[in-house]
Amino acid sequence: MRDYVSVEEAISIVESGDRIFVHGSACTPNYLLDEMANQSHRLRDCEIVSITLQGDVKIAQPEYKDSFFINSLFVSTPVREAVNSDRGDFVPIFLSEIPTLFKKDILPLDVALVSVSPPDAHGFCSLGTSVDIARSAVDTAKKIVAQVNPRMPRTLGDAMVHISQFDKMVYHETELPTIDYGAKVAQEELMIGEHVANLIEDRATIQMGIGTIPDAVLQSLHHHKDLGIHTEMLSDGVIDLIQKGVINNKYKGTHTNKTITSFCFGTRRLYDFVDDNPSIAFMNVEHVNYPINIMKNKKMTAINSAIEIDITGQVCADSIGRYQFSGIGGQMDFMRGAALSEGGKPIIAITSRTKKGVPRIVPYLNQGAGVVTTRGHIHYVVSEYGVAYLYGKNLRQRAQALIEIAHPDDREMLERESFSRFKG
């Protein structure tokens, strides 16, 4: 059994100029990151590569600018300010293709910092709640430091890493970051959930993105039958559906009888549910999000959200104008995979306005906004006011369909803009 070392010794293997992968979501190894901040006086020009970091990420703060550059593959709150400054940047890429960056030495990794469960009797630790891109990072990084946390669930699938792969192991018990999407669901989102649930057929396989709308959808599925799960992310909403037998994975086209995911993020209840659960496989995201694997599931239904949609069907899901808010993630992986599935349905679900009253269905995307899902890929758009089906429709027809599900107070403006755009 490999011995544990102090956090100071573990981080001593990091050198100036290293490209460092940092495990994300509930696996963010903040104990290791805090020590990197402590050792910043000896480190210069280190590049941090990650997705969805959580917690107090000190190395993203301005005082560490000379030591750490945040090169994010999917932006989250702790690094958002840095990414939108000279202290960081964003790499646009499909989630399914991030492992390729590591494997083909496009972004070769010098060090990987990961959070894992304690080793079992055979010496295997689990990558826990986030296998996603961490599996490929561990397989390709030159040096690996593991933060071993007994609070980390032991997930199964592609999660297992033998201790012989770790250059340093640090023992540190800490609770995982949590979020309760279900507690934040608003009335408009519940209405969206009901509209989307009406589109989901019995025996469908579903994918849910991140946020309150996917949880609202899950809350509306309790009368469905024989659903399957093939998704990049799991949240608490699946637990009751699995326990009631609504989700049983019997009729999937691949991985029958298994719930397939690449990571989970939610409450402690979710982390305890996935712990050593043989019915749930946490797999490498290049497999989970590969559109050809997704399309093997009949009636594949992908449910994702957006920041704004223009009246022709262009979907911006990663930026607010030029301000980088999140990332491409797996939206296009699943939108395309669902579209290619027999009986599949790719769905974009949005509230008609933000909580601040800003319209989400707009005449034109904000200047600098990124198009994540193109108008050639869009099929269903759902708001609290109904469902717009855009596939096969021309630009004028799309505009009219989207105006009908826009906020009532925005429709006159959208009609005016649509008339001006298409009057010729």
DSSP 8-state code for residue 30? H
Token pair recorded at residue 118? 């304690």
Distance, CA of 363 to CA of 328 (rounded, Å)? 22
Element (H, E) at 397: helix 395-404
Give the Å distances, CA to CA, from 188 to 27, 192, 206, 213, 294. 32, 6, 21, 9, 29
Beta strands in 165-245 (DSSP E): 168-171, 205-208, 228-229, 233-234
What pLDDT is attached to residue 199? 98
Residue 265, phi-psi category: left (phi > 0), alpha (psi -120 to 50), beta (remainder)? beta
DSSP secondary structure string, 78-143?
HHHHHHTTTTEEE----GGGHHHHHHTTSS--SEEEEEEPPP-TTSEEE-TTB-TTHHHHHHH-SE
pLDDT at position 105 is: 97
Give the pLDDT score at 184.
78
DSSP H or E run through 316: strand 315-316
State residue 378's pLDDT score: 97
Residue 1 is predicted with a pLDDT of 57
* 344 pLDDT above the threshold of 80: yes
Catalytic residue, chosen from 232, 286, 308, 384, is 232
Q: What's the distance, CA 219 to chain centroid? A: 20
Beta carbons of 21 and 137 less than 8 angstroms apart: yes
Q: Which helix (H) or strand (E) holds 264?
A: strand 263-264
Please tell me the predicted confidence (pLDDT) of residue 2. 72
Q: Check: CB of residue 224 under 8 Å from CB of residue 202.
A: yes
Rg (CA), the chain: 22
- Structure tokens belonging to residue 248: 């049983």
Rounded distance, CA 83 to CA 336, Å? 28
pLDDT at 211 over 90: no
Q: Six-digit token pair at 28? A: 């963010």
CA 300 to chain centre: 18
SS3 call for 340: helix
Is residue 181 predicted with pLDDT exceeding 90?
no
- Distance, in Å, from the CA atom of 153 to the CA atom of 250, rounded to the nearest integer, reads 26
Stretch 203-225: mean pLDDT: 92
Q: What is the mean pLDDT of the chain?
A: 96
SS3 category, 300:
strand
**Residues forming a β-bridge with 349:** 382
The answer to whether residue 9 is catalytic is no
Three-class secondary structure of residue 287 per DSSP: helix
Looking at residues 316-333, what average pLDDT do you find? 96
**pLDDT, mean of residues 262-280:** 97
Looking at residue 31, its amino acid is Y
Read off the DSSP letter of residue 175.
P
Q: Could you report the per-residue pLDDT of 126-150, keeping only the tens digit for each?
A: 999 999 999 999 999 999 999 999 9
Task: Give counts: helices (H), strands (E), the chain.
Answer: 14, 25
Q: CB–CB of 106/73 below 8 Å?
A: no
pLDDT value at residue 424 = 59
| Whether residue 309 has pLDDT greater than 90 | yes
Q: What's the pLDDT score for residue 37?
A: 98
* Residue 259 near residue 238 (C-beta atoms within 8 A): yes
pLDDT for 210? 77
